[in-house]
Amino acid sequence: MTQNLADASRPAVPAAVPAARTTAANDAARGGWWRDAVIYQVYPRSFADGNGDGMGDLPGIRARLPYLRDLGVDAVWLSPFYASPQADAGYDVADYRAVDPMFGTLLDADALIRDAHDLGLRIIVDLVPNHSSDQHEWFQRALREGPGSPLRERYHFRPGKGEDGELPPNDWESIFGGPAWTRTADPDGTPGDWYLHLFAPEQPDFNWDNPAVADEFRSILRFWLDMGVDGFRIDVAHGLVKAPGLPDLGSHDQLKLLGNDVMPFFDQDGVHAIYRSWRQILDEYPGARIGVAEAWTPTVQRTANYVRPDELHQAFNFQYLGTGWDADALREVIDVSLDSMRPVQAPTTWVLSNHDVTRHATRFANPPGLGTQIRTAGDRVLGLRRARAATLLMLALPGSAYIYQGEELGLPDVTDLPDEVRQDPSFFRQAGQDGFRDGCRVPIPWSGTEAPYGFGPNPGGPSWLPQPAEWAGLSVEVQTGDPTSTLELYRSALAVRRAQPALGAGTGVEWLPAPAGVLAFRRDAAEGSFVCTANTTGEPVLIPAPGRMLLSSAEAVETENGVELPADSTAWWAV
Ligand code: GLC
């Protein structure tokens, strides 16, 4: 199934160091490009559709790379585009070295990586090591060959409990709802062993105690590093190692425990040996190739374990993503995040949205406390105002920040998708993540007045999820050049962030006195200082102007008595 690079004229493997904006000397001065990189997540299904079939693809992304360069991001993380039956939108990989035909070919991936590097953008690809697709050759052979097949050792096959093995081997539940086990049929058709899948039944978990699994992933890492990628986002990085004996959990509300406790299937200490071995491979390559952990752990302190100096480079800060628009809570999570990363000398990361959660413009449009999967549109005007303010706050913090495609357009979640168009497997398994992830995966509006708004080449053409009619007014084309647009706010913020020596990498902030509900902090550099003020209240607040205003998410009024920070707004100041 693996595709080969058939183009004999293909020049030698590219070095992964983009020439344009980040020189090696600059990187070294900052301690590594990834210490303050702004990384833009592309969800390939929904970014840009080059061939008009309604599904985004690699040629579509490639054609839009100049947009990302102009936006001012440093790197692009691509969600999976590998050969996959798409039972979980590509997070069910059937061949880790092949591009799914729906997204293009390996040559398209090669061209995309090269073009990105020419534009000064780095490329991070998604690696899915916790589970494969049930269509992966190993799993298919394991089923075909039946009990005793050595390939069964590469997954977790177990006999069932009960008189006839009719009960699952333990009480673990799938993140997507229902039991984490599915029973197989033996080659003669009789009911056989069960296999473990922490996610959908089409996603069997690998057995990382089996050396063939570890060998295979080291080889996959090298394959993509040789292709020139600058790093990997590691899916479910906390899940690879399971507690010996796969012990029962003894609880039937396991999802509620996630994130509060170390589980027998999540955040086991054994995962760290894997990342130490991967780090050695990453370090063999020139240009600081990185690993980023998607690790849902009970605390930021435990997340820090994944980014110790001999492990991965970054980990997502989901505690920050889960924090509401509230000054006290934000200050606390910012402090804890910075404090936790300091001892391991890893950059703190910040993220507000991704392909698994309700977009922050919609989260902030709703009352607090609803979590990260929300079904109601809420107050859109309020949500957007807060989202813009939250973005400026995030981009002012020390470390690296993640932007999810479309947030720069202020896109809300689509909360009213009809059931018949939904594709998220968790929707069909009901419980789990609530099944509302399709709402943040709706294709991007680029231009024009008719759907798919430039997502595909043909007006009136298809898109795999329908876009709301009002998205015509949110397109890149409409927002470009409008100084009040969210897109121009992001462009300005990223340009200022690049230009301000006090922004970007760092390990701490100095909190300044501020009225209740207002966050104010200072960051210093030899060339000049910077202050960020964020008013999280629903009322304007008057404060003494901290310096010269650089940027604001809403129009701040400067008066003789000071500056009036509008409700739910953030401003940046040069001091
Ligand atoms: C990660 C991905 C999510 C996927 C899951 C299973 O959490 O971000 O989209 O469903 O892993 O691979």
Active site residue 527: no
Retrieve residue 43's tokens.
């969800």
Give me ligand 1 centre to Cα 14, in Å.
Answer: 30
Ligand 1, atom 3, residue with closest C-alpha: 356
- Is this model's pTM higher than 0.85 or not? yes
Q: Is 300 exposed, middle or buried, given 0-12, 13-18 or 19+ CB atoms closer than 10 A?
A: buried
The region that residue 261 occupies, defined by phi over 0 for left and psi between -120 and 50 for alpha, beta otherwise, is: beta
Q: What's the distance, CA 242 to chain centroid?
A: 24
Which of 284, 416, 470, 558 is the catalytic position?
A: 284
Do 564 and 542 meet the contact criterion of CB atoms below 8 Å apart? yes
CB count in 10 Å sphere of residue 343: 10
Give me ligand 1 centre to Cα 391, in Å.
Answer: 24
Do 399 and 447 meet the contact criterion of CB atoms below 8 Å apart? no
Q: How far apart are CA 488 and CA 552, in angstroms?
A: 12
CB count in 10 Å sphere of residue 150: 11
Q: How far apart are CA 104 and CA 221, in angstroms?
A: 20
Return the pLDDT at 434. 57
Encode 370-393: b = buried (16+ Cβ within 10 Å), e = exposed.
Answer: eebbbbebbeeebbbbbbbbbbbb
Q: How far apart are CA 380 and CA 269, in angstroms?
A: 42
Give me ligand 1 centre to Cα 372, in Å.
Answer: 15
Q: How far apart are CA 527 and CA 534, in angstroms?
A: 24
Give me ligand 1 centre to Cα 235, in Å.
Answer: 6
Question: Which residues are CB-contacts of 471 (< 8 A; sequence separation ≥ 6)?
Answer: 411, 445, 451, 453
Ligand 1, atom 5, residue with closest C-alpha: 91
Encode 317-341: b = buried (16+ Cβ within 10 Å), e = exposed.
Answer: bbbbbebbbebeebbebbebbbebb
Return the pLDDT at 253. 72
Which of 235, 356, 408, 438 is the catalytic position?
A: 235
Give me ligand 1 centre to Cα 91, in Å.
Answer: 6
Q: Which of 205, 235, 258, 296 to mutate to test the pocket of ligand 1 (most atoms within 8 A of CB)?
A: 235
Retrieve residue 332's tokens.
């606390």
Q: Is the peptide bond before 452 cis (omega within 30 degrees of 0)?
A: yes
Active site residue 235: yes
Distances (CA, A) of 342 to 33, 134, 238, 510: 18, 41, 21, 15
Encode 513-549: b = buried (16+ Cβ within 10 Å), e = exposed.
Answer: ebeebbbbbbbeeeeebbbbbbbbbeebbebebbeeb
Q: Which of 199, 202, 266, 297 to mutate to test the pocket of ligand 1 (most atoms within 8 A of CB)?
A: 199
Return the pLDDT at 536. 98
The CB-based long-range contact list for 180-186 (8 Å cut-off, 24+ gap) reads: 180/265, 184/143, 184/157, 186/146, 186/147
Interhelix angle 486-499/380-396, nearest 10 degrees: 10
Return the pLDDT at 298. 86
Q: How far apart are CA 496 and CA 482, in angstroms?
A: 18
> Does any ligand 1 atom lie closer than 6 A to the CB of residue 573?
no
Ligand 1, atom 9, residue with closest C-alpha: 356
Secondary structure class of 421 (helix, strand, coil): helix
Low-confidence ranges of the chain (pLDDT < 50): 1-22, 431-433
